Amino acid sequence: MSPAPQTRRAAALEQDATPIPLSEVVFENTLVAALPADPVLDNRPRQVRHAAYSRVDPTPVREPRILAWAQAVGGRLGIAHPESPLGLEAQVFGGNKVLPGMKPYAARYGGHQFGHWAGQLGDGRAITLGEVIGHDGSRYELQLKGAGRTPYSRTADGRAVLRSSVREFMCSEAMHYLGVPTTRALTLVGTGEAVIRDMFYDGNAAPEPGAIVCRVAPTFVRFGNFQIFAAQQEPDLLKRLADYVITTHYPGLGAPSPDVYTRWFEEICRRTAVTIAEWMRVGFVHGVMNTDNMSILGLTIDYGPYGWLEGYEPGWTPNTTDAEGRRYCYGNQPQIAMWNLVQLANALIPLVGDKAPLEQALSAYGETYTREWRRMLSEKFGIVAIEGEEDDRLVNDAFELLQDVETDMTIFFRALANIPLNEAADDSALVEPLRRAFYTDEASQPEHLSRMAEWLRRYTARVRSDGGAPDARIERMNRANPKYVLRNYLAQLAIDALEQGDASVIDRLMRVLERPYEDQPENDDLAERRPEWARNRPGCSALSCSS
């Protein structure tokens, strides 16, 4: 029996991995074909019913120009690097041209925002162009963010500014190289047009350079796509979407049925747990974990007011909108993911017919998260396995010390691998490798130094009890603790330079972030603590949902 056409095509793609020009790429539209479209073609904000998406073309811009191109993503998609920043790629990914085979659309979805049901939301500034089969045989959607108004834009303009687009482009790729499940980004395109934004919602709206990001993922379907159908009592659409996602993205589960729907939800719980544990491992804070920002594949999706912990603080959030309640702060992320999964389970009850199996499946989240987080902690601390009360106390005491005196989480764990294991080392020698992680002089006070040294002696004794070669432990720790992360102030430096037409800063930073676990001595300035000038500067310390 001959292979299926899709299998033959994937095999051919893998044999011939030479990227081809964008003009030769074949686009597919399985979601469009499987689900019903909004029958109204008028592109105006409105409530949409009995549809999964609305067909809408991007709105052309004045002067599209490619500012950045992710070569690795282009290679995975099989798309050749542009010959010119003003060529066809700029026209397509700037929203000025729709290629044959593309059927652009904006998806309909709802969601809980900051714990409250928000009703219809949808792709208010995102437009999916179509799907391509990559060189690995996988299916990928290409989606433009900032490409103009859609029926889901409400009172907004559907555009995005350069600062938020740079951040999304860079973070998508940085997270991938850190090993965190994530959507990717192919292009960053400047539009040549200004966009009016009130960055902190304080009445100081101003024009900013506009930009568009081409995002890439197997699918951008999210929890909220199912929630809107359940909320609007559209069970047929709920089933059709679930069947499409299972058949296309979870084919190993078998033909859709009540039992398969439950096992599918259980797998979503597992994938989500792994992703959240990875966030916690690298100190990433998403900033806006609404249910419409939760991927049905367990990917990190929608990079808005995100940030990395610098001084370790579980209550920290980069989102000014969340500054009072801190719902989405670093320390709350595991439980918020669980809350969001409960909302998804509620939406899926009509498919299963009973909430009990879904409740049982939900336990996979807690079990997976606990297992993965403990495994990651053992790798971060360089301990073979964290077991028993003594190990738990050792870990908890470390995080208390980090919080008591402002200590950089990334630098602390990277430096911990270099602590001398010699029992005779004095306090100063023990703490010396960690000094770069301290932000204030308080860390140098005798009381704190004594506490830190006492903990380090307990730690080194625990490490010695594992035995093994010291070099192997250091290598293991360095694989778990990145040296380079996309600190907000570094992203802001790239934005500032790009606004002046200088792409060298973003180019350098992207190259470094492709190898976040490797020592790159020539780039050590990118692995330093946040400078004091960035402590309270907009874009470096706090961000809003504005973009």
Active-site positions? 292
Burial of 313 (C-beta count, 10 Å sphere; 0-12/13-18/19+) = middle
Instruction: Give a three-class secondary structure readout of 305-346.
Output: CCEECCECCCCCCCEHHHCCCCCCCHHHHHHHHHHHHHHHHH
**What phi and psi, each to the nearest 5 degrees, are found at residue 10?**
-60, -40
Let me know: does 419 contact 455? Beta carbons within 8 Å. Answer: no
Helix (H) or strand (E) holding 220: none
Q: How many CB atoms lie within 10 A of CB 518?
A: 12
Amino acid at 404: D
Q: How many CB atoms lie within 10 A of CB 148?
A: 22
CB within 8 Å of 459: residues ≥ 6 apart: 381, 394, 398, 416, 419
Residues in the chain: 547
- Helices and strands, counts by H and E, the chain: 17, 11
CB within 8 Å of 215: residues ≥ 6 apart: 126, 142, 143, 144, 145, 168, 172, 183, 184, 185, 186
Can you say how many angstroms the Cα of residue 468 is from the centroid of all Cα atoms in its chain? 35
Coil, strand or helix at 121: coil
